[in-house]
Structure 1
């Protein structure tokens, strides 16, 4: 009888212990997303200490990510996403690349592009605004990799972790940050439209437009700014243009923004729309994923800061 009671107590204690371990295991798997085997190993190694087990799993994943990133380095990354983010006086546009369009549609890759845009926007917020209505700051791949994310990790670490998870090479290619005066309005757009994550626009093409009201007219500046940004993405102008620029004889070959047919009304030029609403375009930027940088954006070092008058 005593043996039965002792055995029953043994079964009860072990059953409770196993239930507790199962609960910890389920909690760790749900929180980290790692496999059953890895989570079980992490808990066993750290005496069921959930915090230490989670930390160890992340360290292992990071090491694996860097290992894979090193092996895959050099493989062509011409696909990917352009991510665009704005707040009242700051904006950022960034290009993140991968090998295939399939991975570019992956949620983890989209989260990486979102994290990069947010990191650039945070960086822009901390930079001094020089004289003039607009300051532009270019960031190259190396400078991007050293920016911290909201999680506290560097973008390069987040990228390595994603590479380890997806098994495909990826890279942080370039970014441009804008800072503007309070009387300048910033608009962002990405195409194909419809993909937006936490106020970050994602697409194969992305654009930023900075506009300012010259005359006190009744205008929905947010709607007009967005339409102009769509125009920049769709029509690919090369410069804003001034009164010294003559319109191209063939409207289809026009590369000066103010002389292009407005994308929302091909019976009017952009200049006519701007004059109608008392608006001027200070500057714009357009990124196309995988484009030849020799023909477009020239990657600038951190010290290369440009102001627009």
Structure 2
């Protein structure tokens, strides 16, 4: 009996010490669905989303708000680190809504980041914020109006009622993408609702739409052309066709002024024609035998160009238009 007791005591002495583990909280099926949903909403890693849900007792709204605040803080910190890097890539975004149209330029460091849904969403948010600002800025105009926004003004715009400023969206994107990003500029054109029309064209690779609202066209070049429409008013299909061709010409030939319908190319040589900067006097890109003014007279009925905007992503000195 004593020997058995001694063997038991010796065995216990030789046994390894007990270890205590803190078991992870089980994730139920409902929690997994919440985790996936939170991941889709925020684009943040699963572990961060799980941490947010645990901190907030499974409340989706609180978890998302906590994650966004954390991401903003990390984004501002990251923005300080990468702020000196050059941003020559990016996208131009265009949005048309009736008699108003906006164009924005958002820049990044690499073409790879420009192709990501996160970056494209930032371009979309910038366009939506600029359109909201355009709509609220003034009453519908009696003539064509144009307005330019620089980077600091653009960063203060909000994407909608109750939405945060674009600078916060920029910080979130920097935190997620790890590159320096800049809201470079924005502009809008507005025309009278009765006899106005705005044509648009983007050039370059076109990403798949990421918008859930109005579609924002994207490319590396963009142009908006404000027109006065004659009576009888041409069909929508004709306006779209003619307007798109003129906007395409603006992208390709980079005019700096509208000119008048009576303008003819300066000089007669090929070199002088290439140096012509008045839109209506330029040789039309798609029909070189005509000037733009002559093309509009023949196809537009005549459609009268009042103003235009042209952006080239990453250009050093934006050309003035007017």
TM-score class, shorter-chain normalisation, is 0.7 to 0.9
Q: 1:69 aligns with which of 58, 66, 79?
A: 79
Contact 1:129/1:179, CA 8 A, preserved across alignment: no
Contact 1:77/1:169, CA 8 A, preserved across alignment: yes
Greater Cα radius of gyration, structure 1 or 2: 2
Supply the distance in 2 between the matched residues of 1:164 and 1:113 (Cα, whole angstroms): 16
The alignment covers a number of residue pairs equal to 285
Partner of 2:286: 264
Equivalent residue of 2:265, what SS?
Answer: coil
Supply the distance in 1 between the matched residues of 2:42 and 2:315 (Cα, whole angstroms): 36
Using the TM superposition, give the Cα deviation of residue 174 of structure 1 relative to its aligned residue in structure 2, in angstroms. Answer: 0.9
Using the TM superposition, give the Cα deviation of residue 92 of structure 1 relative to its aligned residue in structure 2, in angstroms. Answer: 0.7
**For residues 271 and 245 of structure 1, do their structure 2 counterparts lie closer, same or farther at Cα, with a shift above 3 Å needed?**
closer
Supply the distance in 1 between the matched residues of 2:252 and 2:91 (Cα, whole angstroms): 16
What are structure 2's unaligned runs of at least 5 residues? 1-23
Using the TM superposition, give the Cα deviation of residue 39 of structure 1 relative to its aligned residue in structure 2, in angstroms. Answer: 2.3
**For residues 278 and 96 of structure 1, do their structure 2 counterparts lie closer, same or farther at Cα, with a shift above 3 Å needed?**
same
Equivalent residue of 1:261, what SS?
Answer: coil
Supply the distance in 2 between the matched residues of 1:135 and 1:15 (Cα, whole angstroms): 60
Supply the distance in 2 between the matched residues of 1:155 and 1:207 (Cα, whole angstroms): 23
Q: Whose strand proportion is higher, 1 or 2? A: 1
What are structure 1's unaligned runs of at least 5 residues? 1-13, 299-307
Q: What's the Cα RMSD here? A: 2.6
Partner of 1:241: 259
Partner of 1:228: 246
**For residues 242 and 26 of structure 1, do their structure 2 counterparts lie closer, same or farther at Cα, with a shift above 3 Å needed?**
closer
Partner of 1:164: 175
Which piece of structure 1 moves more, 252-261 or 214-223? 214-223
Highest RCO, 1 vs 2 (Cα 8 Å, sep ≥ 6) = 1
Partner of 2:305: 281
- Is 1:51 aligned to 2:61, yes or no? yes
Matches within 5 A, 1:52-201: 52-129=62-139, 132-150=142-160, 152-182=163-193, 183-192=195-204, 194-195=206-207, 197=209, 198-201=214-217
Using the TM superposition, give the Cα deviation of residue 252 of structure 1 relative to its aligned residue in structure 2, in angstroms. Answer: 2.0
Using the TM superposition, give the Cα deviation of residue 41 of structure 1 relative to its aligned residue in structure 2, in angstroms. Answer: 2.0
Partner of 2:9: none
Equivalent residue of 1:59, what SS?
Answer: helix
**For residues 239 and 129 of structure 1, do their structure 2 counterparts lie closer, same or farther at Cα, with a shift above 3 Å needed?**
farther
Using the TM superposition, give the Cα deviation of residue 48 of structure 1 relative to its aligned residue in structure 2, in angstroms. Answer: 2.9
Alignment TM-score, normalising by the size of structure 2: 0.80
- Structure 1 residue ranges (4+ consecutive) displaced by more than 6 angstroms after TM superposition: 14-17
Supply the distance in 2 between the matched residues of 1:17 and 1:202 (Cα, whole angstroms): 41
Which piece of structure 1 moves more, 69-78 or 137-146? 69-78
Using the TM superposition, give the Cα deviation of residue 284 of structure 1 relative to its aligned residue in structure 2, in angstroms. Answer: 0.7
Alignment TM-score, normalising by the size of structure 1: 0.83
Using the TM superposition, give the Cα deviation of residue 32 of structure 1 relative to its aligned residue in structure 2, in angstroms. Answer: 3.2
**For residues 165 and 296 of structure 1, do their structure 2 counterparts lie closer, same or farther at Cα, with a shift above 3 Å needed?**
same
Equivalent residue of 1:77, what SS?
Answer: coil
**For residues 54 and 262 of structure 1, do their structure 2 counterparts lie closer, same or farther at Cα, with a shift above 3 Å needed?**
same
Supply the distance in 2 between the matched residues of 1:60 and 1:189 (Cα, whole angstroms): 38
Supply the distance in 1 between the matched residues of 2:154 and 2:45 (Cα, whole angstroms): 31
Using the TM superposition, give the Cα deviation of residue 213 of structure 1 relative to its aligned residue in structure 2, in angstroms. Answer: 2.6
Supply the distance in 2 between the matched residues of 1:268 and 1:17 (Cα, whole angstroms): 70
